[in-house]
Amino acid sequence: MAPAAPADRGFFARIAPALLMMVLPPVFTEWLLGGTRLSAIIGFPPIIFMEIIVWGGGALMLRALARKLGLGWGSLILFGLAIAMAEEFVIQQTSFAPLVIKLKGVEWARAGGINYVYALWALAYEAVWVVLMPTLVAEMVFPERKNETWLSPVGLIVVGLLFPIGSAMAWYGWTHIARVQTFHLPLYNPAPGELIGALAVIAGLFVWAIKFPPRLAASAPPPSPLLLGIGGAIWSTLWFLLVVLAFGLMPQLSAPAIFAAYLLLILIVLVCMARWGADAGWAERHSFGLFFGTLGGAMLATFAGFVGNATPADMGFKIATNLVALVLMILLGRKIAARR
């Protein structure tokens, strides 16, 4: 049976992919992995609106732009880095300001006014979980509509107006409330030149993505979905380790060496994924295997951050949401298998 034409779809059927695309980024980035705990949601309910509008709205607009211009995954990665740069250096400024978490009470991996190991972790983490994985999953849920933008002119106006409002709320909520009142640290204001530099980098990423979209001519047969899943789980675990190191878990380690090693890892993953994804043998089952392993590994690894550092309600929320996610992933996998 052929999919319904746009005019034949009801209102909610038309906007369903966009709604999913807006919800998945905060689900992946914050709620499943512990970035935003139940206690934070109860203590400050507007955080839900902020995360859906900033993460979800931003991802929806970036994906729509990529599909509108016919850009590939390389450009989508650059768009993901752009919104991560906006979050880390302009909105919440967590890569500029001294970190609020210092596990051993010492400053580590900070130079030139930037938490550079933390920034490396955040830029890759947010590009993956805010833009890339939500796009991958949403297009697996709605495969017949993956070439659509999912954003009408009216929808673009609404999301475009809400995005700066959500960003302003997120900026004030973190820099003036959480940082000062929760963590009892002084207000931090980056220098104007630092903010201008960050905005220039964001603009450069957009120019690169649109005018000079990355392309890799060579392709290679992809590994099996199982091996991709195992690789994704290993990456998730290593990336959780990086943020713990960025918080100063082992300050005796060389921060420049850790930065260089993880940067090399990013480059290797990017080259491999680009070559495998360009191969004609890449199929939906490969995408699912990669997603399942990466999210599964991330959910397991982030439990370590709850041990001895979470209320029973927060731990219960983590367990419940992760179990629900696991069930939904299995159902999606069965749906994909049935399409083969």
129-167, pLDDT tens digit by residue? Answer: 999 999 999 999 999 999 999 999 999 999 999 999 999
Per cent of the chain over pLDDT 90 is 94
Q: What is the mean pLDDT of residues 31-45?
A: 94
Confidence label for 11 from pLDDT (cuts 50, 70 and 90): confident
Q: What torsion, rounded to 10 degrees, do the Cα atoms 327, 332, 335, 340 define?
A: -130
Which residues neighbour 210 within 8 Å (Cβ) at sequence distance 6 or greater? 69, 71, 75
Q: What is the mean pLDDT of residues 218-245?
A: 96
Q: How far is Cα 84 from Cα 76, in angstroms, rounded to an integer?
A: 12
Residue 321's region, left for phi above 0, alpha for psi from -120 to 50, else beta, is alpha
**pLDDT of 10 strictly over 90:** no
Q: Please give the pLDDT value at position 9.
A: 77
Q: What torsion, rounded to 10 degrees, do the Cα atoms 269, 271, 274, 277 define?
A: -60
Q: What is the DSSP letter of 279?
A: S
**pLDDT of 294 strictly over 60:** yes
114 beta partners: 111
Amino acid at 292: F
Confidence label for 1 from pLDDT (cuts 50, 70 and 90): very low
Q: Please give the pLDDT value at position 172.
A: 96
Q: What is the mean pLDDT of residues 208-232?
A: 93
CA torsion through residues 169, 174, 176, 181, sign: positive
**pLDDT of 203 strictly over 60:** yes
Q: What is the mean pLDDT of residues 184-208?
A: 97
Q: Judge whether 135 and 60 are in contact, CB under 8 Å.
A: no
Q: Please give the pLDDT value at position 6.
A: 61
